[in-house]
Structure 1
Amino acid sequence: MDPDAIDAVTRVPHGGESNPELVDFSANTNPRRPGGVARVYEAALAAAGRYPGDEYYAFRAAAAEYIGVTGTEIIPTAGGLAGMRLLCSIVIDSGDSVAIPKPSFSEYAREVRLHGGEPAFVRHDEIADIDPAAHRMVIVCNPNNPTGESYDHTRLRALADRCQASETVLLIDEAFLDFTTEPSLAGTPGVVVARSLTKIFGLPGLRAGFLVATGDRRERLDTARPTWALSTPAAAVGSHCLADTDFVAETRERVDAERERMRHRLTERFRVSPSEAPFLLCETRKPVEAVLTEAREAGLTVRDATTFRGLDSHIRIAVKRAHQNDRLLSAFDV
């Protein structure tokens, strides 16, 4: 991290509502979690009186089986964002250009700046087609947050090939890929994939995730990663969740159906972007603040999407349980 950059960088806003009396549609995490999580967590907590084994063999094996790579390619991290920071720390030098989609997850630009890099913003629907030669790294969010669309796998493979040829690192944030049937680029030479248990497994507070990398970059990431990067409970719960592929399939089916139902209804009031993620980006004709107030008066919160670069009249609505979604649709009178 560049010490001189810290004073010029601020924290960025995110979704999430602390008031338990409000139904939170601002955070796009699964409202359900796999069965047995509490039991596994409690059992692991009993072992938390000693340091976790830093090899994380069980967690690496579960993650590798889940995503289809070898265990040696898995780098355990305390969530996807911690993995991205780790990658930035071994890749970015002062002044390096990093291509970042817009609008997209605001933490990308923040991490690049904290490490002394220079964000080069590219339209999210064009970033898969850029020439990466001028950049030290290219970041792609697939599916993109907050727009919700996923990228064609062939286009991403072509981008990966161009990045490999120009010695540009390609980081693909696949936090929402579990909600689609698209294949991962994990294990592709020159590509680093970031994954998290936050979204699909509904465990944002657990802080568990991993990177997938190959070759020399895998070696450097594994050397540089913090010792004891995952707590004992996080590693145990992570291994348990990653083995529950039936839960993932059921979640995908439920979200697909509810998202389409919500999209159809919400188009009566908003311009709704196509999405393959567990949220919908909605452009509103009314002032965004008025829509946010309307939601709160109905006991709900939605995400103010004007905090994303390039958006000035948008909200983002997460897909929740059917009865919760019904309440939101009723509140918006659609």
Structure 2
Amino acid sequence: MDPDAVVRTTRVPHGGATDSSVLDFSANTNPDRPNGVEAVYAEALSAATRYPDDDYPTFRAAAADYVGCDADSVVPTAGGLEALRLAFEVTLAPGDSALVPEPSFGEYDREIRLQGADPVAVAADELLDTDPAPYEVAVVCTPNNPTGELADSDRLRAFADHCRQSETTLVVDEAFLDFTDAPSLAGEPGVVVARSLTKLFGLPGIRAGFAVATGELGERLAVARRSWSLSTPAAAVGAYCMRQTEFVEATRRRVASERERLADSLSPQFDVHPSDAPFLLCDVGERDVDTVVETARERGVAIRDATTFPTLDSHVRVAVKRPDENDELLRALTDV
């Protein structure tokens, strides 16, 4: 990290409501979690009087099975954002440049700037057609946050090939990919995949995730990773969750069904962006975004003001939750 860059960089706004009296549709986390998590956490907590095994063999084996890669390529991290920071730390130096999608997750811009490098934005739906050669790093988010668009697998692999030929490191943020049945790019040479376990498994406070990279790039990540990068409970819960295949499939089915229902219900009132993710981006048109957000909150529902994302000046983002909760969202957004 570049010390001079730190003083020029600010925090990034995120969704998430701390008020438990409102239904939170501003953060894209699953309202459900796998059965048995509490027991796994309690058992792991009793073992937390000792340092965790810094090799994390059980967690890495579960992660490897989960995304289809070799366990030696898995680098445990405290959430997907820690995986992204680690990727940028080992690939960027002051004065370098990185290609980033826009609009997309604001932490890419911030984390790249913290390394003293320069983020160069391109429209998210045009990034895979952009020449990566001028950049040290290229970033892809799939499905993209906040638009929800899933990258075409063939085009993404072709872009990864182009990055390898250009000696550009490709960083792929797959934080929401497990809500789809699309294949991961984990294990592809020259690619760093960042994964979060907190979205699909409904445990953002656990802070569990991992990066995947091979060869010399993977070795750099492994060396730079903080020692004991996962707490004992986070490692145990994360490994357990990644084995819950029935929960994953049930969640995917519910999200797909409810996302379609929400999109159909909201479309007469808003322009709803097509989505493959557990959220929907809505253009509120001539309405005032602040008024839409405040009115929904007065009715007991928190939604995300998406104008904090570059290029979005009339948008909100809403998560996809359980059917009864989604009914409350629709009620809150009626005639706003």
Whether TM-score is above 0.5 comes out as yes
Question: Where in structure 2 are the equivalents of 1:225-244 lying within 5 Å?
Answer: 225-244=225-244
> Counterpart in 2 of 1:186?
186
Report the TM-score when normalising by structure 2.
Answer: 0.99
How many corresponding residue pairs? 334
Amino acid at match of 2:163: C
Deviation at 1:270, TM superposition (A): 0.3
Moved over 4 A (4+): none
Cross-structure match for 1:327:
328
How many Å separate the matches in 2 of 1:310 and 1:282? 14
Give the aligned partner of residue 173 of structure 1.
173
CA distance in 2, matches of 1:31, 1:228: 29
Match of 1:161 in 2: 161
Number of the residue aligned with 1:207? 207
How far apart, in 2, do the equivalents of 1:311 and 1:44 lie? Answer: 43
Deviation at 1:253, TM superposition (A): 0.1
Please give the per-residue CA displacement for 1:64-107, whole angstroms capped at 9, x wherever unaligned: 01111111010000001001111111110111110000000000
CA distance in 1, matches of 2:233, 2:294: 39
Matched, 1:294 2:295: yes
What SS class does the counterpart of residue 133 from structure 2 fall into? helix
Pairing of 1:113-128 with structure 2 (within 5 A): 113-128=113-128
Could you tell me how far 1:333 is from its partner in structure 2?
A: 2.2
> Distance in 2 between the 1:196 and 1:269 partners?
33
Matched with 1:14 is: 14
Instruction: Structure 2: give runs of 5+ residues left out of the alignment.
Output: none
Q: Write the distance in 2 (CA, Å) between the matches of 1:190 and 1:245.
A: 29
Give the superposition deviation at 1:181: 1.5
d(CA) in 2 for partners of 1:208, 1:287: 37
2:36 corresponds to: 36
Q: Secondary structure at the match of 2:205?
A: coil
1:263 aligns with 263
The SS at the match of 2:125 is coil
TM-score, reference length from structure 1 = 0.99
Please report how far the alpha carbon of residue 259 of structure 1 lies from its aligned counterpart in structure 2 after TM superposition: 0.3
Where does residue 220 of structure 2 map in the other structure? 220
Aligned-pair Cα RMSD in Å = 0.7
Q: Which residue of the partner structure matches residue 198 of structure 1?
A: 198
Q: Distance in 2 between matches of 1:105 and 1:332?
A: 25
Query: Aligned equivalents of 1:128 and 1:248: distance in 2?
Result: 28
Matched, 1:318 2:319: yes
Counterpart in 2 of 1:307? Answer: 308
Please state how far the C-alpha of 1:332 moved relative to its aligned partner.
Answer: 1.8
Shift of the alpha carbon at 1:268? 1.2
Between the two proteins, what is the percent identity of the paired residues?
A: 58
Mapping 1:95-134, distance limit 5 Å: 95-134=95-134
Q: Aligned equivalents of 2:334 and 2:234: distance in 1?
A: 41
3-state SS, counterpart of residue 132 of structure 1: coil
Q: 1:224-249: per-residue Cα shift (whole Å, max 9, x none)?
A: 10000000000000010000011110
Aligned to 1:119, the other structure's residue is in SS state: strand
1:250 aligned residue:
250
Q: Counterpart of 1:105 in 2: which secondary structure?
A: coil
Cα distance, 1:198 vs structure 2: 1.2
1:289 is aligned with what amino acid?
D
Amino acid at match of 1:27: A
Which residue in 1 is equivalent to 2:77?
77
Other structure's SS at 1:219 match: helix
1:249-271 C-alpha deviation (Å, 9 max, x unpaired): 00000000000000000001100
Distance 1:246 1:122 in 2: 38
User: Which 5+ residue runs of structure 1 have no aligned equivalent?
Assistant: none
d(CA) in 1 for partners of 2:309, 2:333: 23
